[in-house]
């Protein structure tokens, strides 16, 4: 038996994603379809997964489900010690967020109902009808709503957990960012065999059969870079897939502040590579030119 069921549409999410989706659809039709089709797929997936929020209460559990139900949570009513209507800060945002008041599940607006669980954890459920949700919880739990979260039973452990989780998340994100910067800051690896040329940096790399190479040139300047399609860019370091004026799509493994650059072209694409040491770059050019000219 269901005591309560309500679905709230994330209008703010739609207001942001719909214009972006229309732009991406236009780009798919008028530009390179493969590149933007991936982005369009991601946007449609975001719509399906986080476009609306359903809250369901039966005789045993409170269930929270985003979109088509891939992201959900179930809370036993017996574990709820108290609940009260609250107002979120605007910067708490939408989706699943870690706030100073515990985990927030929200799809639109600032209203929510905060739950205090028996283990001290707090959960906020975003809703556009907080009074109705409070009444449903009161009926299902046979408890009276607390007028304010300030009147919840005191439990300092949840604040300590929130702080620890926040510090851990900041440390994890910082480690990922710093690790990525370190990996991509290293000079590209170049492996030249009798049959192939392999170039890599970080998580990006490519392998070209020597028989597919049409030209090998040494240049001091490159066309303007239109955009990064799948790669890393920080300062002068460029690693991965980029689109350049006049040249189109290709792979860059370069430091823009240290010309010259070796440009390897095939029938379909190009690869540009260099090192901070210009002499090393020129030596690579000579090696590649000789290898490409070898019958």
Q: What average pLDDT values come out for the chain (295 residues) when binned by 10 residues? A: 84 74 68 64 82 93 93 94 92 87 91 91 93 92 80 65 79 85 85 90 88 92 88 87 91 92 93 94 91 73
Do 102 and 237 belong to one domain? Answer: no
Does residue 183 fall inside a structural domain? no
Task: Give me the residue label for tokens 């954890």.
Answer: 121
Residue span of the structural domain in which 232 resides? 189-293
Domain edge (last residue) among 169, 203, 221: 169
Do 155 and 51 belong to one domain? Answer: yes
Do 153 and 27 belong to one domain? Answer: yes
Longest alpha-carbon distance in the chain: 86
Residue 81: both structure tokens together = 């010690």
Give the C-alpha distances (Å, rounded to integers) separating 25 from 108, 135, 170. Answer: 25, 44, 35
Does residue 13 fall inside a structural domain? yes
* 135 φ, ψ (degrees, to nearest 5): -65, -40
Q: How far apart are CA 131 and CA 137, in angstroms?
A: 10
Does residue 180 fall inside a structural domain? no
At residue 295, the pLDDT reads 62
Under DSSP, the state recorded for 10 is -
At residue 114, the pLDDT reads 94
Under DSSP, the state recorded for 168 is H
Do 13 and 125 belong to one domain? Answer: yes
Does residue 26 fall inside a structural domain? yes
Do 163 and 216 belong to one domain? Answer: no
Q: Does pTM surpass 0.85? A: no
Q: How far apart are CA 240 and CA 248, in angstroms?
A: 14
Do 9 and 54 belong to one domain? Answer: yes
Number of domains in the chain: 2
Do 161 and 241 belong to one domain? Answer: no
Q: How far apart are CA 158 and CA 121, in angstroms?
A: 5
At residue 219, the pLDDT reads 93
Does residue 141 fall inside a structural domain? yes
Q: In the beta sheet, which residues pair with residue 237?
A: 234, 255
Give the number of other Cβ atoms within 10 Å of residue 174's Cβ.
10
Task: Give me the residue label for tokens 């209460």.
Answer: 57
Residue 174: both structure tokens together = 């910082």
Do 14 and 138 belong to one domain? Answer: yes
Do 158 and 238 belong to one domain? Answer: no
What CATH number does the domain containing 242 carry? 2.30.29
Residue 158: both structure tokens together = 């949840």
Q: Is 67 left (phi over 0), alpha (psi -120 to 50) or beta?
A: left
Do 106 and 8 belong to one domain? Answer: yes
What CATH number does the domain containing 25 carry? 2.30.29.30
Does residue 155 fall inside a structural domain? yes
Do 274 and 239 belong to one domain? Answer: yes
Q: Output 171-180 pairs: Cβ under 8 A, ≥24 positions apart.
A: 180/232
Q: How far apart are CA 265 and CA 196, in angstroms?
A: 14
Beta strands 248-255; 270-273: pairing state: parallel
At residue 222, the pLDDT reads 93
Do 259 and 197 belong to one domain? Answer: yes
């Amino acid at each position: 038996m269901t005591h309560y069921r309500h679905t709230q549409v994330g209008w703010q999410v739609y207001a942001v994603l719909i214009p972006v989706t229309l732009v991406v659809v236009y780009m798919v039709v008028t530009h390179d379809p493969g590149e933007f089709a991936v982005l369009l797929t991601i946007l449609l997936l975001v719509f399906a997964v986080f476009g609306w929020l359903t809250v369901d209460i039966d005789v045993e559990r409170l269930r929270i489900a985003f979109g088509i139900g891939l992201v959900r949570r179930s809370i036993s009513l017996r574990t709820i010690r108290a609940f009260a209507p609250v107002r979120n800060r605007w910067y708490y945002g939408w989706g699943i967020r870690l706030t100073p008041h515990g985990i927030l599940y929200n799809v639109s607006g600032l209203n929510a109902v905060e739950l205090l669980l028996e283990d001290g954890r707090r959960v906020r459920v975003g809703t556009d009808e907080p009074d109705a949700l409070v009444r449903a919880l009161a009926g299902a739990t046979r408890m009276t709503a607390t007028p304010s979260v300030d009147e919840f039973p005191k439990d300092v452990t949840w604040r300590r957990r929130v702080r620890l989780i926040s510090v851990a998340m900041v440390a994890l994100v910082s480690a990922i960012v710093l690790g990525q910067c370190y990996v991509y800051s290293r000079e590209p690896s170049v492996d030249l065999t009798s049959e192939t040329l392999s170039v890599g940096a970080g998580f990006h790399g490519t392998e070209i059969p020597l028989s597919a190479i049409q030209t090998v040139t040494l240049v001091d300047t490159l066309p303007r870079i239109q955009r990064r399609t799948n790669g890393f860019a920080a300062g002068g370091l460029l690693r991965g897939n980029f689109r350049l004026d006049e040249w189109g799509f290709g792979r860059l493994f370069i430091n823009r502040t240290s010309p010259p650059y070796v440009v390897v072209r095939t029938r379909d694409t190009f690869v540009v590579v260099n090192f901070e040491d210009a002499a090393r770059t020129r030596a690579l050019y000579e090696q590649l030119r000789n290898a490409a000219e070898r019958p």
